[in-house]
Amino acid sequence: MGGRILSAVRAEQGMAVVGATERPGSSQIGLDAGAVAGGEAIGVRVADSLERALEPGADVVIDFTAPSASMRHAQVCAQRKVALVIGTTGFPPEARAELQARAREAPIVVAPNMSVGVNVLFRLAGEAARALGPGYEVEIAEMHHRAKKDAPSGTALRLAEVAAEALGLDAQAAGVYERHGEVGVRKPGTIGVQALRGGDVVGDHTVYFLADGERLELTHRATSRDNFARGAIRAARWVAGRRAGLYDMQDVLGFRSEST
């Protein structure tokens, strides 16, 4: 994703890469970031920490790393009052509170999926759940490549949260993540979330609304990681210079007012 983002930034008007970072000990440290990304040299060396990468000065940081690294980067950005866009997934539940604390010092956009299309899917899923009501049962299926470490995906979990919120349910209590053996009839007020893994699938997500005699399916399929990079760039443009606060892609796309 770092390479995809760097390439996307280079194609944007009015944006420039001023720093890049990798985990300590990486063989890429000290190399030109443009060359590492498979393109032309850009005169920016890969640093071994975000602090070093920020030395030239930056308006916004884009982070696609791992939960522990993202939390450390949020601390650095909060201390330096630098805007931050986080596309990392797999955060533990307590991470939200810590990010809210950091967001009192700097503007932070956090989203389980940076794709503009997926974030429109979040919106549609919520509207569909509200319109259809509890008479329609909700099931969510997601599919990703064999190397994805967390399951279900952050996107699937967010879709379940959106549907639960629209139906007045507790997302944690409503979630059903495994069915095996004699599970009995489907319980009312539950939301099934199933994960599939294999091949090189970038990311497929489908929300099913099921009732007697009909079903509605909302599906998003990603065939390239470039759409995640483009969404992150859009978020970076939006959040740079904004007041401190915790935002998501619904804010970036104008689906939610700042006062909310």
- Catalogue the active-site residues: 144, 148
Please provide the distance, in angstroms rounded to a whole number, between the alpha carbons at the two ends of the chain. Answer: 31
DSSP the chain: -HHHHHHHHHTSTT-----EE--TT-TTTTSBHHHHTTS---S-BEESSHHHHTTT--SEEEE-S-HHHHHHHHHHHHHHT-EEEE------TTHHHHHHHHTTTSEEEE-S---HHHHHHHHHHHHHHHHHGGGSEEEEEEEE-TT--SSS-HHHHHHHHHHHHHHT--HHHHEE----SS--SPPTT-EEEEEEE-TT--EEEEEEEEETTEEEEEEEEE--THHHHHHHHHHHHHHTTPPSEEE-HHHHTTSS-TT-
